[in-house]
Amino acid sequence: MPNAEVRVLLVGCGKMGGAMLQGWRREKGLGPFLAVEPGGAPEFDSAADVRVVADADAIPAGFAPDVVVFATKPQVMDKVAPPYARFAGRALFVSIAAGKTIAYFRRHLGQSAAIVRAMPNTPAAVGRGITVGCPTAEVSAAQRALADRLLRSVGTVEWVADESLIDAVTAVSGSGPAYVFLLAETLAAAGAKAGLPADLAGRLARATVSGAGELLHQSPESAEQLRKNVTSPNGTTAAALAILMGPGGFGELLEKAVAAAEKRSRELAS
């Protein structure tokens, strides 16, 4: 589809939806775009290729989307999704709503609807997200390629065939940024407790976490090897890691945290 016009209907133009729309607009062959956002989307008011309407009733009669992307809060999806069932059979449906299963969307859109359930994460706002998608059998190869293209506009994309894995994906990458932010937060607090001025401790923690993340992003070496590279025998890092990697340390805590997030994701889905 790269050279064809692809009509995209975005339902929900908040932070995530808006970030995706910005990425789509940079790609040739995508558009025109129609966004449904009750509160409006001022950042797109002057965009010639984007039209924003308040609700599904305001969608122009002649607009037939190739893909409908649900980017609204899962809490309002019961009211949001049903009006778009009229596009089933022609359009691909892509959902990034946490906890809303393929079975859920089939109830609202029809059993034969082509659906991709996707789980992105918040670094998508800066083009560094990662999204995992799960397609139904009704999704054609061309539609999967289109979904991949749309999701790739805000980062990398992985695919799974087993929808049950989305709960683990949610626990690792969906919720994962919060774990990293907590690391920066607590590292800064520990630095301040060690005697550093609080603002300096905050800057050191922020730069350390973001810098280490960028090194991990760019380096071909594994996270394990990068850790070893900075750990001199009997040095300061080794002393700290003896605590973090000891009984009840970082590994055990994170394993429990991911398990708790996965369990909650299953509860929300049901």
The domain spanning residue 213 has which CATH number? 1.10.3730.10
Closest CA to 134 of 154, 109, 114, 152: 114
CATH number (domain holding residue 105): 3.40.50.720
Is there a single domain that holds both residue 183 and residue 149?
A: no
Report yes or no on 220 lying in a domain.
yes
User: Same domain, yes or no, for 18 and 147?
Assistant: yes
pLDDT, one tens digit per residue, over 174-218 is 999 999 999 999 999 999 999 999 999 999 999 999 999 999 999
pLDDT digits (tens, 9 = 90+) for 51-78: 999 999 999 998 999 999 999 999 999 9
- Identify whether residues 152 and 261 lie together within a single domain: no
Which residue, 114, 133, 162, sits at the end of a domain?
162
User: With a threshold of 0.85, does the pTM exceed it?
Assistant: yes
- On whether both 198 and 248 belong to a single domain, the answer is yes
14-36 tens-digit pLDDT: 988 999 999 999 888 899 999 99
4 pLDDT above the threshold of 80: no
Confidence of residue 1 (pLDDT cuts 50, 70, 90): very low
Is 2 a residue whose pLDDT tops 70?
no
Domain final residue, candidates 127, 162, 197: 162
The total of structural domains in the chain comes to 2
Is 208 within a domain?
yes
Does residue 36 belong to any structural domain of this protein? yes
222 belongs to a structural domain: yes
The answer to whether residue 151 is domain-embedded is: yes
171 inside domain: no
The residues with which 95 forms a beta bridge, in sequence order, are 70, 117
Domain coverage including residue 221: 176-269
- Domain-located, residue 167: no
Same domain, 110 and 194: no
Residues 129 and 188 in one domain: no
Same domain, 186 and 61: no
What separation in angstroms does the CA of 40 have from each of 8, 19, 53, 78, 82? 17, 15, 7, 21, 21
Is the distance from CB of 125 to CB of 100 less than 8 angstroms?
no
Same domain assignment for residues 146 and 197: no
Nearest CA to 133 out of 120, 114, 122 is that of 120
Of 162, 195, 227, the residue at which a domain comes to its end is: 162
Burial of 231 (0-12, 13-18, 19+ CB in 10 A): middle
> In this structure, is residue 120 part of a structural domain?
yes
Q: Are residues 135 and 72 in the same domain?
A: yes
Do 143 and 49 share a domain, yes or no?
Answer: yes
43 with 90, same domain?
Answer: yes
**pLDDT band at residue 49 using 50, 70 and 90 as cut-offs:** very high
pLDDT at residue 85 greater than cutoff 90: yes
In this prediction, residue 28 carries a pLDDT of 87
6 pLDDT more than 90: yes
Residue 80: exposed, middle, or buried by beta-carbon count in 10 A (0-12, 13-18, 19+)? buried
Please tell me whether residues 140 and 17 are part of one structural domain.
yes
**37-51, 209-223, 255-269: which is most confident:** 209-223
